A and B are shown apart, each in its own frame.
Chain A
Amino acid sequence: MNRMFAIIEREMRKFFRSPTLMIMSLMMPILQLIIIGNAFGGKIVGTHVAVIDHDHGPQAVKVREAFAAVAATIKTFSTIEYSNEVQAREDVRTGKIDAAVIIPEQYSRRVYSQDAPKLGFVVDNSDLFTSGSLEAEMQLLVDALNAPQIQDRLSKSIALEIVELYPYVNYLKYLLPMTVALAMYISVMIGGGMLYIDDKARGVHEGYLVTPITKLELVFGMNIAGSMKATLSGISIGVIGSLIAGLGIVFHPMIMMQMLSLIVAGSIAFNGMMFLLMVRVDDPLVPRAMFGVLNILLLYPSGAMYPTVSFPKWMQAMGVVDPFTYAIHGFKAVLLKDGGWVAIWPDLLFLTTFGIATLLIATPLFKRTL
């Protein structure tokens, strides 16, 4: 037992003596959270829409007033006056402006005569996010312009009353569970993958193998140390990430307990998986080459960034056996929904079972000789 603790002591001392390693394993997920969270999470604002008014009638003024209201309130776009329609189209094409609205001649007259008036909308659809937002905003404006001036005494339309169970979850908060899981994965990948193989290559393991340490002591020592490092990363990123994303809930004692349980179970699962993958590897290049591929294979099918229901069946199947899926589901249940133990026990069960199972498979594969 003491020999196992010696291995743990060595690993932890090395971990705390390598500030670069610590910073890298913590900084990368945090940067990912901040950059991806802000890159994908925000609404489209500040676009420029050209207005070419060939009508100048009262209904055209009404349209332009509606545009001005958008510019002043939700700021999706601001308008720029154009007189030349061809120039406006060219500017949309070259990216100087994002869209152009053309109010045709006789627009006001056709509105009054209910002669199916049309507003032209030229949009750069190579950018799906911006064009989608502008199209949706324009459709809302057109719907508002079409609304009857005098309301019916009895409402005939069916209304949908939306009840949101949780406070608004921006993308930054949505990504936090992934960030915590990613920090644990990176810690395991560096500490349990790269450093493990580097130590092997440098002959450090050879030094262990000539001592009376048993195979189990060695395997458990290395895996407990690896799980401890991943747990420390998970806790650090959980706290720092929650502060960045504005999730104060993480400091609630029960939430802390649930998070800690998930982080520990997740660390065991990730570490067991990594040990199984690396147990027979000798070449230090292998874990480095695997790093990116494994990241994609594990992260994306887990639903960390996009809901799994939209995935093809084969990708959903990958998600079923992916420890990321359960870690992220658990973190979401705790951090975003306050779901309690009921919501996370299946995740805890899977992660713990997965960790133990991978260790049980890897241990016989671990060679006590060179």
Chain B
Amino acid sequence: MSATSIYSPAGDWNGASRPIAIAVEHIVKRYGNFEAVKDVSFSVAEGEIFGLLGPNGAGKSTLIRMMTTLIPVTAGKAIVAGYDVAKDPDDVRRVIGVIPQALTSDQDLTVEENLSIYAKLYSVPRAQREKNIAEVLEAVDLTKWRDAQTKTLSGGMRRRLEIARGLVHNPSIFFLDEPTTGLDPVSRIAVWEMLNKLKASRNLTMLLTTHYMEEADKLCDRIAIVDHGKLMALGTPTELKNSVAGANVVEVHFDREDEEWYGRLEKLEGVTSVQPEGSGFYRVITKSGSKTTMQIVELAASLGETLTSLTVQNTTLDDVFIHYTGRQLRDEQVKPVNFLMPPRPGTQP
């Protein structure tokens, strides 16, 4: 299935017609001869949480940087809140909030000072500033840390401060570049809950990038899978999972590795693909999990082989990603290309 076949124009993502908040049309970004973003188009409806999912180096950050006016667009068009990012960058900046990938709040400043300075950068009037700061601190649960120096905060609290900083001028569209990278699982879940709460209370449109499947699955209304600068698939998490032929994944671990297993599993009824994982471990995508499970047990018994483990689960975004990109979403599996984007100074390459 091609990416465009499940491309869903904004406004229909949950069945209701909604105005478009972000429209990206055939956008391209080139660095010399290297094309970091290749003819990507999508749109995001107002109030939607839209995720760009892909491994490091896929072009997610480049996309978000073009939409937030940080880097110029080579070709195509990006419209944010009705403003063209190339023609009206200042208008775009006024209506968006941006959370960069790195933690960039000033460590020597207090929580309130960080927020106050950003409110001033957005020309928020003094009275409104005080009110906004109090509100966003409450929203991210940092009110009691108002006077604390940022360097005394934990990683999760600093990320919440970054979120508060991006909201201090009441933006209508919120861009988050890998908002939970580097956080422990508890802090990550706390950030997800907070973003969901903010979406509901402020009617925010959010566009976030992530390479965490679970994050995209739990947080996003729609997901765009990006790889090597191309939009590989787009849809709601359910649509994407349903788009993969086979509703279930059977994970089987044979006690003894045998080259014949791959062929035997592939021939089973209902099996659409088999992914060998090594050491006798196989992921089998099938239309019927229960039927395939029975067949595997019978097959093993007929051959006198022992099964170490056998599990059945529904298709995950991992499977979707593998289906569309042909590889797993693991950082180490990002294939090198002729041109590598230099890492942003100060961040881990």
Q: A residues near B, CB below 8 A?
A: 2-3, 5-7, 9-10, 13-14, 17-18, 198, 200-204, 206-214, 282-284, 369-370
Contact = CB atoms under 8 A, between A and B. Distances in A.
B311 interface: no
Given A3-B121, A5-B120, A209-B70, A203 B109 contact: no
B15 interface: no
B94 A212 contact: yes
Nearest to B96: A210
B106 A14 contact: yes
Contacts of B113: 13
B345 A6 contact: no
A211 B93 contact: yes
B345 A10 contact: no
A202 B151 CA distance: 14
11 contacts: A6-B120, A13-B109, A14-B106, A202-B102, A203-B347, A204-B106, A206-B70, A207-B98, A210-B70, A211-B93, A370-B65
Contacts, number: 85
Nearest to B175: A210
A213 B149 CA distance: 25
Contacts of B109: 10, 13-14, 17
B345 A283 contact: yes
Contact of A202 (B94, B104, B108, B123): B104
Contacts of B108: 13-14, 17-18
Contacts of A211: 93, 118, 121-122
Contact of B122 (A206, A212, A283): A212
A209 B65 CA distance: 11
Nearest to A5: B120
Contacts of B68: 210
B72 interface: yes
A203 B101 contact: yes
A17 B108 CA distance: 6
Contacts of B75: none
A104 B72 CA distance: 89
Interface string B185-228: 00000000000000000000000000000000000000000000
Which of B90, B108, B109: most chain A Cβ within 10 A?
A: B108
Interface of B: 65, 68-72, 90, 93-94, 96, 98, 100-102, 104, 106, 108-109, 113, 117-118, 120-123, 149, 165, 344-347
Contacts of B121: 3, 6-7, 208, 211-213
Given A13-B108, A210-B96, A201 B120 contact: no
A327 B118 CA distance: 37
A294 B72 CA distance: 34
Closest 4 CB pairs of A and B: A201-B346, A6-B120, A201-B345, A17-B108
A213 to B, nearest CB: 5
A278 B346 CA distance: 17
A213 B117 CA distance: 12
Nearest to A211: B121
B169 to A, nearest CB: 8
Nearest to A198: B346
Nearest to A13: B109
Contact of A206 (B94, B100, B149, B165): B100
B346 A210 contact: no
A206 B118 CA distance: 13
Contacts of B104: 202-204, 206-207
Contacts of B72: 369
Nearest to A16: B108
Nearest to A212: B93
Nearest to B119: A6
B120 A2 contact: yes
A200 B94 contact: no
Contacts of A208: 121
Contacts of B90: 212, 214
A284 B346 CA distance: 9
Nearest to A197: B345
A198 B68 CA distance: 22
Nearest to A9: B117
Contacts of B69: 209-210, 369
Contacts of A369: 69-72
Given A202-B346, A210-B98, A211-B122, A6 B117 contact: yes
Contacts of B98: 207, 210
Contacts of B94: 212
Contacts of A200: 345
A212 B100 contact: no
A212 B344 contact: no
A203 B158 CA distance: 15
B343 to A, nearest CB: 10
A276 B289 CA distance: 66
A6 B344 CA distance: 25
Given A18-B108, A212-B90, A369-B69, A203 B120 contact: no
A211 B123 CA distance: 10
Given A203-B104, A207-B118, A284-B346, 5 more contacts: A9-B117, A13-B106, A200-B345, A210-B69, A370-B71
A203 B102 contact: yes
